[in-house]
Copies of this chain bind each other. A is one copy, B any other.
Amino acid sequence: MKSSLSAPFKSGLTMVFFLFFSHVVVSQDSSQDPPNFIVIFADDLGYGDLGCYGHPTIKTPNLDQMAIEGQKWTNFYAAASVCTPSRAALLTGRLPVRSGMASNKSRVLFPNSVNGLPADEITLAEQLKKVGYSTACIGKWHLGHKEQYLPTNNGFDYYFGIPYSNDMDFEGKKGYRKTVADNDFIDTKDFNVPLLRNTKIIERPADQNTITKRYAQEAVDFIKKNKDEPFFIYLAHNLPHIPLFASKDFVGKSKRGLYGDVIEEIDHGVGQILNTLKEEGLAENTIVVFTSDNGPWLPFDTHGGSAGLLYAGKGSTWEGGMREPCIFWGPGRIKPAVVSDLGSTMDFFTTFSKLAGAEIPSDRPMDGVDLSQTLFNGEASPRDSFFYYRGTELYAARSGDYKVHYTTQGVYGQFGERVDHIVPLLYNLSEDPSEAYNIAESHPEVIQEINTLVKAHKENMVMGKDQLAERN
């Protein structure tokens, strides 16, 4: 393997592109203050779960309006199909395999995990703090629950949330998975998940019935308190990950059952946040983005979401596992559009760092690209490829319209049988978003091109030490 400084395939070209355009971006925005950033990150929400992405009965008027006023991206990817690696990638702008936050021994961190995000990883919060931002992490962390790994040791001034998934620390007598599928309620006390403010446990078990509402309120409060300086809020809802909970005002509100209630409560919170920005005169100088960490968790009957027309769900490297709704909003800055170009959560790091005037780290490979010219001017996205990892293994790769699957593993990802394809599967995702028509036989030259891309990517890949495997 080459040194860790080696650029990933295509990133040389990307660099040239950015060096060329970065000046344009800076001059365009020089008359404006550095924008505030709010990332609203749902948990296990599927591509098809919002009104503006085609769900027939979940009502999401605030997100729909955000999409009308901003950009609705339709080929946008989380960097992994499960929680921990997806979150690590968003915050570091790097594939999780580089930071060791992806593993073949444990797909995510657990309450008995020993490690977390390595200290030498640079988070988006750390980037923005360097250039004067106030930073808050609200919601699910899942990058290490020990104190040294918590948000406040990773660039966030403030933290309010749960340290791992809302289904962990389960102390009920029955297996909750079956219970969730069979009944519409679970007693919160069966889950002993702690709620933290900064590094202190303030509630245990966290009252998940009100948690979505409280996260939104925390974001609103942080905006009001920090309105005179640039701020970054990473609002990572721990729902609609099962088990599902909604507050009294939302239970029974949607036609889609409890799952819909949860989404509608998240949507309501989005509305509160956007209204606060408008009331405080911050809308013109804030960029809000909404997306999710991975696709819907399908084995849970109607407690799981929908990937819409995409195939499969959470845990898999099919599109349903990793392609997500993504809506950018920023009146006066973001050019309203439906964008079918490629993007990824890893691009937040690069894009927001550039806009804030924070230097992109040059001592390590970065996987993000700067989307600002697409966001502001409707130019083509500089992202032309995407690598689909399961753990530390590359299962699939996309270049432009085409996706090659080298390995697939079930529809649900966790449970399916692994299949290594001697002749890889090939799909044109623009023409065939549901991955229904394998065209490998008629387009061997496309497979060859993507093989070349993948070979170069792998040759330049230095994997970080596995942080997920070790448990007490």
* Copies of this chain, count: 2
Question: Within the complex, what minimum Cβ distance (angstroms) separates A400 from chain B?
Answer: 10
Are A340 and B57 interface neighbours, CB within 8 A? yes
Question: Within the complex, what minimum Cβ distance (angstroms) separates A180 from chain B?
Answer: 13
* Chain B: CB-nearest residue to A259: B431
Are B338 and A308 interface neighbours, CB within 8 A? no
Q: Which of A72-91 contact B (CB under 8 A)?
A: 74-75
* Chain B residues within an 8 Å CB radius of A428: 257, 302
Q: Does A434 sit within 8 A of B, measured CB to CB?
A: yes
Question: Within the complex, what minimum Cβ distance (angstroms) separates A83 from chain B?
Answer: 23
Q: Does A415 sit within 8 A of B, measured CB to CB?
A: no
Q: Does A331 sit within 8 A of B, measured CB to CB?
A: no
Are A255 and B430 interface neighbours, CB within 8 A? yes
Q: How far is the CA of A53 from the CA of B428 in the complex (A)?
A: 21
Using a Cβ–Cβ cut-off of 8 Å, how many residues does chain A contribute to the interface with B?
36
Q: Which of A282-340 contact B (CB under 8 A)?
A: 301-302, 306-309, 338, 340
Q: How far is the CA of A270 from the CA of B428 in the complex (A)?
A: 28
Question: Within the complex, what minimum Cβ distance (angstroms) separates A176 from chain B?
Answer: 19
Kindly identify which residue among B48, B61, B338 contacts A309, using a CB–CB cutoff of 8 Å: B48
Q: Which of A456-471 contact B (CB under 8 A)?
A: none
Q: Which of A156-172 contact B (CB under 8 A)?
A: none
Q: Does A203 sit within 8 A of B, measured CB to CB?
A: no
What does the 1/0 interface line of A49-77 toward B look like (CB < 8 Å)?
00111111101010010001000001100
Kindly identify which residue among B54, B75, B260, B302 contacts A308, using a CB–CB cutoff of 8 Å: B54
Given A255-B401, A256-B430, A430-B255: A301 and B437 interface contact (C-beta under 8 Å) = yes
Q: Does A432 sit within 8 A of B, measured CB to CB?
A: yes
* Chain B: CB-nearest residue to A54: B54
Q: Which of A217-265 contact B (CB under 8 A)?
A: 255-257, 259-260
Are A340 and B255 interface neighbours, CB within 8 A? yes
* Chain B: CB-nearest residue to A434: B306
Q: Does A433 sit within 8 A of B, measured CB to CB?
A: yes
Question: Within the complex, what minimum Cβ distance (angstroms) separates A344 from chain B?
Answer: 15
Question: Within the complex, what minimum Cβ distance (angstroms) separates A252 from chain B?
Answer: 12
Question: Within the complex, what minimum Cβ distance (angstroms) separates A76 from chain B?
Answer: 10
* Chain B residues within an 8 Å CB radius of A61: 338
Given A255-B401, A308-B308: A51 and B338 interface contact (C-beta under 8 Å) = yes
Kindly identify which residue among B48, B301, B338 contacts A59, using a CB–CB cutoff of 8 Å: B338
Given A308-B308, A309-B48: A56 and B433 interface contact (C-beta under 8 Å) = yes
* Chain B: CB-nearest residue to A59: B338
Question: Within the complex, what minimum Cβ distance (angstroms) separates A470 from chain B?
Answer: 38
* Chain B residues within an 8 Å CB radius of A301: 437
* Chain B residues within an 8 Å CB radius of A54: 47-48, 53-55, 308-309
* Chain B: CB-nearest residue to A68: B68
Q: Which are the 8 A-B pairs with shortest beta-carbon distances?
A: A54-B54, A56-B74, A255-B430, A257-B431, A57-B430, A48-B309, A302-B431, A53-B54
For the A-B complex with A54-B308, A54-B309, A308-B309 known, give 15 more contacts whose Cβ atoms are closer than 8 Å: A51-B338, A53-B54, A55-B309, A55-B433, A56-B74, A56-B340, A56-B433, A57-B74, A57-B430, A57-B433, A59-B340, A256-B431, A302-B432, A308-B308, A309-B309
